[in-house]
């Protein structure tokens, strides 16, 4: 009898745990090799999860206002431009309960919050694994807000480390060239930090915004990661009517980056599937080569 009760209690607890995470995050798989994550925009409470108490050197429990909506709008605009949706993971819970951009030890204090935190990161990991199986190149953009540089967008890659694969195959232009995301931001008139003329590995990313837990654990400096970049939007770019313009311009910047650096080049029709001798024929019969 005692054993049965314990089993029932355990089953009830597992159902409750399973129910909470689904409500705690908003997630959708996509078709583009792009993931947008937004860990700090939520404003919902979590049943069974008590508020955090200060821990760690950078404890913050106010949300990055409107960054959940910003990520959603960027995703929709990206789909409109490219015809394909990015992957999207948004924390619905308020940061005062869980900081999803921190290690678990600093992210929450109450064990009742663990399932929602785990669900957020399990979803990001599953999407990365899915993308890695389908695409040669991919990028995660972690969407945040800050008030230190009110009219600027800040780049965080831990001084180039979390975009290691991208830098090694495409070089600095992928980070600060005209078709990079921040190159496009600058061309659209946005203030950017660091400036466009610094090298991606220079230690000039803004203090406290060099990239947090998300880019650190999912970046391409890790063997199971993809390129990852933190985007920190100033408050003026997220308020009122500015939000939609920011989202539209961000989607354009990301789409340009996708076209130039992520989209796999089409395989030449003649060469595809051709045997070595057939390929030689193509070359030998090509006009101007005889």
Shortest Å, Cβ 198 to Zn ion: 22
Binder among 20, 25, 27, 64 for Zn ion (CB under 5 A): 64
Stretch that binds Zn ion, among 49-57, 63-71, 216-224, 260-268 (CB under 5 A): 63-71
The 10-49 site mask, x for binding Zn ion (CB under 5 A), equals ------------------------------x---------
Sign of the C-alpha dihedral, residues 268, 273, 276, 280? negative
Q: What are the distances in angstroms from CA 49 to CA 52, 101, 109, 159?
A: 9, 17, 9, 35
94 part of the interface to Zn ion, by CB under 5 A: no
CA nearest neighbour of 38 among 74, 79, 78, 85: 74
* Bond preceding residue 248 cis, omega within 30 of 0: no
102 part of the interface to Zn ion, by CB under 5 A: no
103 or 134: whose CB is closer to Zn ion?
Answer: 103
43 or 129: whose CB is closer to Zn ion?
Answer: 43
137 part of the interface to Zn ion, by CB under 5 A: no
CA nearest neighbour of 262 among 180, 192, 188, 176: 180
Shortest Å, Cβ 77 to Zn ion: 21
Shortest Å, Cβ 169 to Zn ion: 29
167 or 192: whose CB is closer to Zn ion?
Answer: 192
52 or 144: whose CB is closer to Zn ion?
Answer: 144
**Alpha-carbon gap, residue 6 to 10, rounded angstroms:** 6
Q: Which residue is nearest to Zn ion (CB)?
A: 144
52 part of the interface to Zn ion, by CB under 5 A: no
Shortest Å, Cβ 210 to Zn ion: 13
64 or 227: whose CB is closer to Zn ion?
Answer: 64
40 or 66: whose CB is closer to Zn ion?
Answer: 40
Shortest Å, Cβ 7 to Zn ion: 41
**Alpha-carbon gap, residue 76 to 260, rounded angstroms:** 20
Size of the site for Zn ion (CB under 5 A): 3
243 or 262: whose CB is closer to Zn ion?
Answer: 243
68 part of the interface to Zn ion, by CB under 5 A: no
144 part of the interface to Zn ion, by CB under 5 A: yes
Sign of the C-alpha dihedral, residues 221, 122, 116, 153? positive
92 part of the interface to Zn ion, by CB under 5 A: no
40 or 221: whose CB is closer to Zn ion?
Answer: 40
**Residues engaged in binding Zn ion (CB under 5 A):** 40, 64, 144
């Amino acid at each position: 009898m005692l054993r049965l009760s314990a089993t029932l209690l355990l089953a009830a607890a597992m159902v409750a745990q399973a129910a909470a995470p689904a409500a705690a995050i908003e997630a959708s798989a996509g078709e583009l090799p792009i993931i947008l994550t937004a860990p700090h925009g939520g404003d919902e409470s979590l049943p069974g999860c008590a508020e955090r108490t200060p821990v760690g050197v950078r404890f913050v429990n106010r949300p990055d206002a409107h960054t959940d909506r910003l990520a959603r709008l960027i995703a929709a605009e990206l789909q409109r431009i490219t015809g394909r949706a990015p992957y999207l993971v948004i924390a619905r819970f308020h940061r005062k309960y869980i900081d999803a951009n921190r290690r678990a030890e600093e992210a929450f204090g109450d064990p009742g919050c663990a399932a929602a935190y785990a669900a957020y990161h399990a979803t990001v990991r599953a999407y990365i694994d899915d993308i890695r199986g389908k695409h040669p190149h991919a990028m995660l953009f972690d969407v945040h807000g800050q008030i230190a540089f009110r009219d600027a967008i800040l780049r965080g890659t831990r001084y180039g480390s979390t975009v290691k694969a991208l830098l090694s195959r495409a070089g600095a232009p992928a980070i600060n060239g005209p078709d990079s995301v921040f190159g496009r931001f600058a061309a659209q008139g946005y203030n950017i930090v660091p400036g466009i003329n610094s090298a991606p590995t220079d230690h000039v990313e803004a203090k406290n915004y060099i990239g947090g837990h998300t880019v650190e654990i999912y970046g391409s400096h890790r063997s199971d990661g993809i390129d990852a970049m933190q985007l920190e939007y100033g408050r003026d770019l997220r308020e009122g009517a500015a939000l939609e313009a920011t989202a539209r311009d961000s989607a354009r910047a990301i789409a340009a980056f996708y076209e130039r650096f992520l989209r796999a080049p089409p395989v030449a029709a003649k060469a595809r599937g051709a045997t070595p001798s057939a390929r030689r024929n193509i070359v030998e019969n090509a006009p101007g080569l005889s």
